[in-house]
Amino acid sequence: MKIIHFADLHLGVESYSRLDPATGLPTRFLDFLRTFDELVDYAIESKADLVLFCGDTYKTRDPTPTQQREFARRIVRLSEARIPVFLLVGNHDAPNMSGRATATEIFSTLEVENVHVSSKPEVVRISTPGGVVQVASLPWARRSALLSKEDTKNLTLEQINERLQQILTEKVASLAGELDPTLPAVLAAHVWVMGATTGSEKGMTIGQEHMLLPGNIARPEFDYVALGHIHRRQVLGENPPVVYAGSLDRLDFGDEDIDKGFYVVEIAPDPVKRRVGYEFHPVKARKFLTLTIELKAEDADPTATALRAINEQKEKVKDAIVRVHITAPAQIESLLKESDLRDALKEASYFTITRDILRETRPRLGALMTSQLTHMDALKAWLEYKKTPPERLKVLMDYGKKMVEEARG
């Protein structure tokens, strides 16, 4: 049995975009669709038995019609190829009010063949070409759905999260108890597991979230634990495998050095001791590149220096999302020709240039201090602050003394 595990699609993230002239759509939206197409193509060509999506279809819970249309086109391709698809509801999918539908529930309403949507803890048995697989579902849990105002009265945020952890742990145990041990079983969860290394999702979450302990989900009843919510792909355990697929595409510069893609999971159909293998499959996600350029005060042509640094990374710059950060002393700032830098970056998909100008801090001796200093003492203090060499300091002090005497007559 071959299962494709992915998560955190986040269609609608359009940072670092420009409008594509051919379609009129943001370029980043098209990037996300291309990587999704890679996954769909792979699933069809390799004859996958199940595509398992672990939540966060869109950037927001209210996606645009265009975003919904493009997502549906790809799900229908899988459905028509007779590949079952399991869609889990994530925190970006969950409505902010009970009773409201999620955007993915349209597939259940229309009864799209081979598509299963889960918005509540449940065990779903799915018939696949490789046999029946059990998916224990743990979608994103909204605090208001699990705890009433009376339950949380007089509790701190930490105590509320501990209570949520206890409730979710009990739900996982309950789901495990419903499983048929003779059939393959996967836990699909959109949750933060303690010990996971975070990535770009830090900028997309609000407040402190509840977490689950790894041992509370790595139960022996599951052959594989498929996770969503954390954007950095990682393996938290091996028996059974506990795996975050990470986001399918790079969302921001926090993902710059991280490969993006999905996991291919294979479960041998042994009713006694099933063997599980999994492998990460990368996609051609848009590259992100940071160039840091530090210029010196003595640089006679800082523009040429910056251009050399950019041209040295020319192959990486091409088609990438690039940010150039330039640090330069104030005295050479005017020599930087930004038009030349922008021209050197024209093959990037998108770029930004920022400058950090180092301005000299003048000493402030203060009214009291200056009132107590003679002219010569003040001159000496200034020259020492400027780190004037001793021999030059003596010459300047002599000149200063002559000037003071001449002024006094």
Q: What is the pLDDT of residues 38-53, one digit of tens each?
A: 999 999 999 999 999 9
- Would you call the peptide bond into 129 cis, given omega within 30 degrees of 0 as the criterion? no
Residues 201 and 320 in one domain: no
Residues 34 and 48 in one domain: yes
pLDDT tens digit sequence for 336-374: 999 999 999 999 999 999 999 988 766 555 544 555 678
Residues 200 and 240 in one domain: yes
DSSP state of 98: T
Residues 265 and 399 in one domain: no
Give kind and range of the element (H or E) at residue 170.
helix 157-177
Number of domains in the chain: 3
Residues 237 and 305 in one domain: no
Phi, psi of 247 (to 5 degrees): -70, 150
147 CB-side CA count, 13 A: 21
- CB of 404 closer than 8 Å to CB of 375: yes
Residues 15 and 127 in one domain: yes
pLDDT of residue 302: 95
Phi, psi of 200 (to 5 degrees): -70, -10
Distance CA 43, CA 45 (A): 6
Query: What band does 192 get if pLDDT is binned at 50, 70 and 90?
Result: very high
Residues 398 and 315 in one domain: no
Residues 340 and 245 in one domain: no
pLDDT tens digit sequence for 152-185: 566 676 777 788 888 899 999 999 999 999 999 9
Q: Provide the residue range defining the domain that includes 314.
A: 288-358
Q: Any idea what the CATH number is for the domain that residue 256 is in?
A: 3.60.21.10
Residues 315 and 335 in one domain: yes
Residues 116 and 250 in one domain: yes
pLDDT tens digit sequence for 252-269: 999 999 999 999 999 997
- CB of 89 closer than 8 Å to CB of 119: yes
Residues 215 and 73 in one domain: yes
Distance CA 124, CA 350 (A): 43
- Whether the per-residue pLDDT at 393 is higher than 60: the answer is yes
Boundary (domain end) residue, out of 282, 307, 340: 282
Mean pLDDT (whole number) for 51-62: 94
pLDDT of residue 207: 47
Boundary (domain end) residue, out of 282, 311, 333: 282
Boundary (domain end) residue, out of 252, 282, 312: 282
Residues 343 and 394 in one domain: no
pLDDT of residue 375: 80
pLDDT of residue 206: 43
What is the DSSP annotation of 297-358?
Answer: TT-S-HHHHHHHHHHTTHHHHTTSEEEEEEEEEGGGGGG--HHHHHHHTTTSSEEEEEEEEE
